Chain A
Amino acid sequence: MSEAKGRDDVGLEERLARLEAIVERLEQDELELQEALELFEEGIGHVRAAHGLLDETRLRVEKLVVEMDGAVSVEPHSPE
């Protein structure tokens, strides 16, 4: 069950939340140039990563299967 959780370390939710914060800070605060550039790079990184995630177009479907001994396993499921 090691791969049960999301495949990348940072979830989409966190990325988008961080992105919102970055946009807000860049647009509202008086920032040092250095900080502004760092925020910019981080923000663009999040945009790229999120886009990369969204570009996955093949939905994966899995099915829980109860074995004879009662153990539960996860199998790929191909909906026909």
Chain B
Amino acid sequence: MTGPLDLFAAAEAERQTRPPGEPDAPRTTYSVSNLNRLVRELLDQSLPPMWVSGEVSNWKRAGSGHCYFSLKDADAQVRCVLFASDARRLPTDPEEGMAVRVFGTVTLYEQRGDFQIVVREVEATDAGGLWRLAFEQLRAKLDGEGLLAAERKRPVPRYPRRVGVVTSPVGAAVHDVIRVVEARAPWCTVVLSPARVQGDGAEHEIAAALERLAEHGGVDVIIVGRGGGSVEDLWAFNREEVARAIAASPVPVVSAVGHETDVTIADLVADLRAATPSAAAEQAVPDGAALRRQLRMAAQRIGGAASRIVADQHRRVDTLAAGLESGMQAIMERRARRLTRSMDKLEALSPLAALKRGYAVAQDADGRLLRRTADFDDVDTFRLRVVDGRVDCSVEGTERHE
């Protein structure tokens, strides 16, 4: 069977062999199918893949995942198709009227006779383009659900024992995290939950790795991220699936998508955002050296406070003992003084004192005191006591003074 091009070539050759002006005598007749195939092959072979710019119109994403739309400018439009395998790479569907550039092959859809571009890539022409649009759409959606609210942010534990990491097992990020944790807090355990972080389906892997880590890793905090890359490389971290997995994590999540300037959706949902995996590790674990200093200081303060309290008690005992001693002394002295006083009094009252001063006491033979004249009535002799002895006396007479 001859191909359509051969048919076409044959017809052309025949036409050229005839003298000019003469009508094409044996008219070649094509079927519609043949014609369309002919035209498609002409288009396919004569036009290389190219970039075409225009505005998007009537974008439709079919259930199959294929996307159909028109590209137009002020004066013309062309049908476009983007097959599902390529459409999957789009961050989001472009909006109506959005200025884009498409890269693809101009061809003919034979069944319909529609002239169209089979698009391989779509790029928005303004800065950020579709990526920015997709980002804003998802941010608005998650914000509407309250998933970005500041009140949702959980504090990252100060002293985690097990630190989870979701990232590529072969990238620089995991090495950076391990290096920092080893330097700062080597008593910790790092638990890696590997995931591809870029390319088709990376978002599924990241989300699944997050869930696995939370369920089986026994971790206190999770670092999720990668070390840098283009906006396309980082795209998985702008995916809804990853955002929801972070939001659903039972332990706090630190995002570490190494990109200083562009914030990702993962950063917005995470409990804490770090610029790089190293920075994330620094925020997730304490610095061992600082901790040691802190412990030394605490030990010093405890020791100081305790010895101060002991010293205080010692002083108290000493004071009391001194008080006791001086108290006893005072009591003894008081007693001694009282004794002296009593003795003085006693002496003052003693008859000896009176005798000393020259007084004498008269007593009868039985020792009874003879105080008044009447006491002498029946007495002939009596004794007189003087200070140094006795004088025997006899009564010559009495005279009473009134």
Give Cα distance in the complex from A34 to B127, angstroms. 72
Total A-B contacts with CB atoms under 8 angstroms apart: 124
Q: Which of A33, A43, A60, A77 contacts B313 (CB 8 A)?
A: A33
CA separation between A19 and B187, bound complex, in Å? 19
The reply to whether A61 and B189 contact each other, CB–CB distance below 8 Å, is yes
Residues of B within 8 A of A68 (CB): none
List A residues 16-39 near B (Cβ within 8 Å): 16, 19-20, 22-23, 26-27, 31, 33, 36-37, 39
B327 CB, min distance to chain A CBs, angstroms: 24
Q: Do B295 and A4 touch across chains, with their CB atoms under 8 A apart?
A: no
CB pair B169 A63 closer than 8 Å: yes
Query: Scoring B residues 170 to 190 as 1 if CB is less than 8 Å from chain A, else 0, what string do you get?
Result: 000011001001100011111
Range for the number of chain A residues in contact with chain B: 35 or more
Contact with B along A50-61 (1 / 0, CB 8 A): 110111111111
Interface size (B, Cβ < 8 Å)? 42
B190 touches A60 (CB 8 A): yes
Q: Does B315 contact A (CB under 8 A)?
A: no
From B178, B186, B301, give the contact of A27 (CB < 8 A): B301
B302 on the interface (CB 8 Å rule)? yes
Q: Once the chains bind, are B161 and A5 in contact (CB under 8 Å)?
A: yes
For B178, give the chain A residue with the smallest CB separation: A79
Q: Choose from A26, A51, A72 the contact partner of B306 (Cβ within 8 Å).
A: A26
A60 to B192, CA, bound (A): 11
Alpha-carbon gap, A14 to B292, bound state (A): 16
**Residue among A39, A43, A62 making CB contact with B298, cutoff 8 Å:** A43
- Chain A residues within 8 Å of B162, by CB: 4-6
Shortest Cβ distance from A31 into B: residue: B309
Residues on B with C-beta less than 8 A from A19 are 295, 298, 302
B186 touches A58 (CB 8 A): yes
Tell me which residues across on chain B come within 8 A of A59, comparing CB atoms: 178, 181-182, 186, 188-190
Interchain CB contact under 8 A, A5 and B192:
no
Chain A residues near B351 (CB, 8 Å)?
A: none
- B218 interface residue (CB < 8 Å to A): yes
- From known contacts A4-B218, A72-B212, infer whether A47 and B295 are also in contact, taking CB-CB under 8 Å: yes
Complex: chain B residue closest to A75, CB-CB: B192
Q: B95 an interface residue at 8 Å Cβ cutoff?
A: no
Question: How many Å lie between the Cα of A48 and that of B112 in the bound state?
Answer: 83
Contact A12 B190 (CB under 8 A): no
Chain B contacts to A: CB under 8 angstroms = 157-159, 161-162, 169, 174-175, 178, 181-182, 186-194, 209, 212-213, 215-218, 288, 291-292, 294-295, 298-299, 301-303, 305-306, 309-310, 313
21 contacts between A and B (CB under 8 A): A4-B162, A5-B218, A6-B161, A20-B298, A23-B301, A26-B301, A26-B309, A37-B306, A39-B302, A39-B306, A40-B305, A43-B302, A47-B302, A53-B187, A62-B189, A62-B190, A62-B192, A63-B194, A64-B212, A79-B174, A79-B178
Query: Which A residues are within 8 Å of any B CB, using their own CB?
Result: 1, 4-7, 11-13, 16, 19-20, 22-23, 26-27, 31, 33, 36-37, 39-40, 43-44, 47, 50-51, 53-64, 66, 72-74, 77, 79
Nearest 6 interchain pairs by C-beta: A4-B218, A26-B305, A40-B306, A12-B159, A6-B161, A56-B187
